[in-house]
Structure 1
Amino acid sequence: MKKSLNCPYSMIDQEIICEHKMARVTPEDINTVHNHDGYEVVLFLKGDVNIMIEPELFKMKRGDMFFISPLVFHGIDLEDITGYERIVINVQYEYLKNLGDAETDFSTLFRNCDSANMNHLRIPEESISKFISIAGKLEEALHSKSYGHSVLSKAYLAEFLLLTCKYSENVPPQKKRSSMPVVVSKILDYIDTHLSEDITINAMSAELHYSSDHLSRAFSEATGDSLKHYINAKKIALAQKLLLQNNSPYDVCFMVGYNNYSSFSRRFSKQIGMSPKQFQLSYRAS
């Protein structure tokens, strides 16, 4: 992946975003691993692409549909930048929560027995056109100004997800073989295990029995991000979850392994675009 140390977090600023992306992709379009505050669905249609959804890396095949949970880091690695076609749907957390009812919890699509972070289905070739058609209607409704377009958008999103549920029930979960390098898998496991501590690359190096230079280089080559930057980004993602659980910003600082509130608040503000307190209040208000 191309190395890019831009802010890895983005807020989904619309209730629903749906895009059928067919344009050529240039190297400048490739971002490092990132996360969102809402849900993401990716239906892969064409290209030579690997997708990284922490902590694994998969070769994508036509008909692969990935469901990525909020705040989970993910990114793409393009083997060939000349043709990458996919449908991407982003949905705000609260919107998806309210889309179903007591009997229909669409959030279950975004996890499975092996992972709370993601789910993966393979859509058969003969059914892909159905999903493309519904996504096209959804995208058209989202860009329309006609009376009732928001109701139509909600209906098409529900139809898309209900059709997905049908395949989720009738198609066994895909057995995925991750192509993530072993050393990077060990790094990701180490970070998850020690996320509430003050993680240093030297301590990680001693425990994993690799040099710090090797760890940093292997991680950067696999993810496009620097190891130090990713550790901080993961801590801030955990801090977001803890803040949304109504823990005080001061307590959260130490719960995610920072020893100084000013440093924590500065890092949080740089990554999220607002202070921990402002973030907490903004979600309470919404």
Structure 2
Amino acid sequence: MEQNTNYIFSPIEEELICYHKTTDTDLISPALPYHRHDAYEIYLFLGGNTYMYLEQSCYKLAPGDLMIISPSEMHRCVCIDNQLYERIGLNIKKPALERLSSHRSNLSSCFESHPFGQNNLTQLSQDQIVFYCELAEKLISCLSSEEYGQDLLAESYATQLLVFINTLYQSSTYRSNNLIPELVSNTMTYIKEHLVESISSEQLEQEFHYSGKYISQQFRKHTGLTIRSYIVDQRISLAKSHLSTGKTVAEACEFSGFSDYANFIRSFKKIVGMPPGKYKANKHA
């Protein structure tokens, strides 16, 4: 099986960022792999010929599609021609989301109430698109200003956006067709179900009755990742859960399917950005 580890963890530097971008898609690599952030993401698609992959789903986006993405959910965007790619993105870290919430109104509920990797997408009406864009532009302006009171106004506009989004998702029944190939989705499921075991190309061949090479090619085509990279990423995610519940670094290594301790330490630091011991200490500080 492939040994590449081209997974991507893309950290967000600020507690809250918002942007409105229109990009020449010649600058968007179709090989951009699945990635995740250390912040919640809200993504409004406004134009282009674009597919959004999120965990085991793939959606052909239409203007007005709004996607909510939790920090643990892997995702990627693929632009398939040279149409201009326009979107508004908002990233907010957990402490900021908690600070803006109240006892009555938990602004992270839209992220927490849907099944992992499912029902992330809804569709805005034209009036809702206009409303959302106006609020986002005000937020962007405040975030880029050093003038008196602009930080407070930024939090006000962010709160209004988050209230709007949470209210929208409470009543949304929108469902979009999942276009990801069954073979790729089933391979992801198999990996998650056998994560702490040894997983080889031969096992995948026996399970799905395709050659290991074909399975790998299809997986790479639709995720941007090698199968090995995906396995390592999922094992690190499991290790983080073990560390958060008080397991030792050695136990997290063993219980997450790693057979080589040094490789576990190296892979954890590469993906998470810090050694597992420091991650555990931060969680229990």
Question: TM-score by structure 2 length?
Answer: 0.90
Alignment of 1:39-188 (within 5 A): 39-113=40-114, 115-117=115-117, 119-170=120-171, 172-188=172-188
Tell me: CA distance 1:193–1:55, structure 2 relative to 1, closer, same or farther (3 Å): same
Distance 1:28 1:121 in 2: 24
Q: Indicate the residue corresponding to 1:244 in structure 2.
A: 244
Whole-Å separation in 2 of the counterparts to 1:149 and 1:230: 42
Shift of 1:181: 0.7
- 1:25–1:217 CA distance, 2 compared to 1 (3 A): same
**1:263, CA displacement in angstroms?**
1.4
Displacement of 1:129? 0.8
User: Structure 1, residues 235-261: CA drift from partner, whole Å, max 9, x if none?
Assistant: 222323333333322211112101222
Mapped pair 1:228 → 2:203? no
Distance in 1 (CA, whole Å) between partners of 2:92 and 2:7 is 20
Instruction: Assess if the C-alpha contact under 8 Å between 1:45 and 1:63 holds in 2.
Output: yes
Q: 1:210 to 1:79 in 2, by over 3 A?
A: same
**Distance in 2 (alpha carbons) for counterparts of 1:283 and 1:144:** 33
Residue range with higher mean Cα deviation, 27-36 or 10-19 = 27-36
Q: Secondary structure at the match of 1:82?
A: coil
CA shift at 1:146, angstroms? 1.7
Give the gaps of 5 or more residues in structure 2: none
SS in 2 for 1:221: helix
Cα distance, 1:6 vs. partner? 4.4
Question: What CA distance in whole angstroms lies between the structure 1 residues aligned with 2:10 and 2:284?
Answer: 19
Matched residue type, 2:179? S
- Structure 1 segments unaligned to the other structure (5+ residues): none
Distance 1:88 1:246, change over 3 A: farther
CA distance in 2 between counterparts of 1:250 and 1:224 reads 31
The amino acid across from 2:97 in the alignment is L
Q: Distance in 2 between matches of 1:122 and 1:82?
A: 21
Normalised by the length of structure 1, the TM-score is: 0.90
* Residue of structure 1 equivalent to 2:277: 277
Structure 1 residue 279: deviation in Å?
2.5
TM-superposed deviation, 1:231: 1.4
- Compared CA separation, residues 208 and 136, structure 1 to 2 (3 A): same
AA matched with 1:86: R
Q: Is 1:189 the equivalent of 2:185?
A: no
The answer to whether the Cα contact below 8 Å between 1:70 and 1:93 also exists between their aligned partners in 2 is: no
Could you say what secondary structure the match of 1:43 adopts? strand
**Cα gap change, 1:147 to 1:248, in 2 (>3 Å):** farther
Higher mean Cα deviation, 259-268 or 201-210? 201-210
Q: Aligned pair in 2 of structure 1 residues 140, 247: CA closer, same or farther (>3 Å)? A: farther
What is the aligned-residue identity percentage?
A: 29
Paired with 1:237 and 1:150, the residues of 2 have a C-alpha distance of: 34
| Number of matched pairs | 280
Q: What is the letter of the counterpart of residue 273 of structure 2?
A: G
Alignment match, 1:36? 37
TM-superposed CA distance for 1:58, in Å, is: 0.6
Q: Aligned partners of 1:83 and 1:182: how far apart in 2?
A: 30
Q: Distance in 2 between matches of 1:112 and 1:84?
A: 30
**In 1, distance between residues paired with 2:272 and 2:66?**
28
Q: CA separation of 1:145/1:232 partners in 2, compared to 1, >3 Å: closer, same or farther? A: same
d(CA) in 2 for partners of 1:139, 1:253 = 42
Identify the residue that residue 258 of structure 1 maps to in structure 2.
258
User: Counterpart amino acid of 1:159?
Assistant: Q
Partner SS state of residue 22, structure 1: strand
Structure 1 Cα separation of the partners of residues 166 and 270 of structure 2? 38
- Give the aligned residue type for 2:262: S
Question: Letter of the aligned partner of 2:116 in structure 1?
Answer: A
* Separation in structure 2 between the aligned mates of residue 242 and residue 18 of structure 1, nearest angstrom: 33
1:161 to partner: Cα distance: 1.1
Contact 2:7 2:33 in 1 (8 A): no
